[in-house]
Amino acid sequence: MSLDAHYFDGHSSRRHPVRLTALDGALRIEGEDGAHTIPAADIRASEPQGSAPRTLRFAGNRAFCEIAQGRELDALLAALGQRDSIVVRLQGRWRWVFVSLGVVAMVLCAAYFWGLPWGAKVIAPHIPITAMRSISEQALAQLDNFLFYPGRLPPDRQQKLRDGFRALVVDDPELAAYGDRITLVFRSAPKIGPNAFALPGGQVVILDELVQMPGSNDEEILAVLAHELGHLACRHGIRQLIQSSALAAFSAAWFGDISAAVAGLSTMLLNSAYSRDMEREADGYAAATLRRQGKSPALLASALEKLEAFHSAKKRLRDEEGANDEAGKFLDWISSHPDTAERIQHLRAAP
């Protein structure tokens, strides 16, 4: 089997026309400067790249041959015992390309929806709370800069809530890992309205508007705080931060500039909404805590109903006025939780 090719000696860019012939497990190269033979085992064929010529490179030699693609080349390579890998052969078949893309997409989706949450759940208990404390303080400082005001409740009212909150904390050994880092932080945020949320460093922020919400009472407020303690006990904030950081690191490694991912950790924390499963876990934790204290999980259900009614009314008013509250959008995860009606129903059905 023979065909024409161009030979490059590896010392200049000049092309030498040659004739290639497969002979008994070797390649004979004949040109104007003579002929020589190269064992088939020392030959490496490049992968096909569209209609571009392929190259044959030779072990221990900078020289190579450039050959047009086609059946003649395929026959020559077959005569030399050269065969493209299975991956290369599949790349030339569109059906297999699409199948491969589908498999990759499924693997990535599985990694995102199941693998990453599972990994975060395994890793979270091993993350030092001190590290999370620093990130949480940065996040809270950001909120204080553009959204929060200092809490304005009377000192005796704050102390009463702190005492009730502390009773919830000491009631559960799962929170012992936080030591004395679990603190109740009072803030005011008229743009958000009544709510509370937990930061993974142990700070539980309660807004004055929750305490002052019409119809609310301390039992319901403490039920909401028990729910937020559930996020701490289950390390939900840390798990969300691990997931966000892993995604950011993957994107940064792929597209570059990993420093931006590291610098944006606190922003990721603020933007990471809890999943539905995490909300249900925190509800279950709150229900168990309330039962241990001789109270009904319906207290949390009642608080959720009032919060949902307040925020729904506020959203309707904002929509009617055509308001564009960027700060409110930035903290949508604080002011709304998924499947509130389902959660309320489940809590009311709990014994």
**pLDDT value at position 135?**
86
Q: What structural domains and CATH numbers belong to the chain?
A: 2-91 (2.30.29.30), 127-349 (no CATH)
The span from the CA of 313 to the CA of 329, in Å, is 16
pLDDT attached to residue 270:
47
Instruction: Return phi, psi of residue 186, to 5°.
Output: -100, 130
What span, in angstroms and rounded, lies between the C-alpha atoms of 278 and 99?
A: 34
Angstrom distances, CA of residue 204 to CA of 77, 137, 169, 187, 200 = 70, 11, 11, 10, 9
Tokens (6 digits) for 329: 């959008």
Instruction: Compute the distance between CA of residue 299 and CA of residue 303 in angstroms, rounded to an integer.
Output: 6
**pTM of the complete model beyond 0.85:** no
Within 10 angstroms of residue 226's Cβ, the number of other Cβ atoms is: 30
Cβ neighbours, 10 Å, residue 342: 12
pLDDT score of 300: 94
Residue 61 is predicted with a pLDDT of: 81
CB neighbours of 293 closer than 8 A, spacing ≥ 6? 167, 168, 171
The values of phi and psi at residue 272, to 5°, are -90, 105
Q: In the block, which residue shows the tokens 């497969």?
A: 22
Reported as half-sphere exposure (CB side, CA atoms, 13 A), residue 156 has a value of 0
Instruction: Name residues whose C-beta falls within 8 Å of residue 225's C-beta, 6 or more positions apart in sequence.
Output: 164, 165, 168, 184, 196, 204, 206
User: Which among 179, 182, 176 has a CA at the least distance from the CA of 199?
Assistant: 182
Strands 196-198 and 203-207: antiparallel
Query: Which pLDDT tens digits describe the chain residue by residue (351 residues)?
Result: 689 999 998 888 888 999 999 888 888 889 888 888 888 888 888 888 878 898 998 887 888 999 998 888 888 888 888 777 666 666 666 676 677 788 888 987 887 778 888 888 899 888 888 888 888 999 899 989 988 999 999 999 999 999 999 999 987 888 888 888 999 999 999 888 898 999 999 999 999 999 999 888 999 999 999 999 999 999 998 888 888 777 777 666 665 554 544 444 544 454 455 677 888 999 999 999 999 999 999 999 999 999 888 877 777 776 666 655 544 444 444 444 557 888 888 888 877
DSSP H or E run through 169: helix 155-170
Query: What Cα–Cα distance (Å) separates residue 56 from each residue in 29, 81, 257, 346?
Result: 12, 13, 38, 69
Q: What pLDDT is stored for residue 87 in this prediction?
A: 65
Neighbours of 269 (CB within 10 A): 24
Give kind and range of the element (H or E) at residue 150.
Answer: strand 149-150
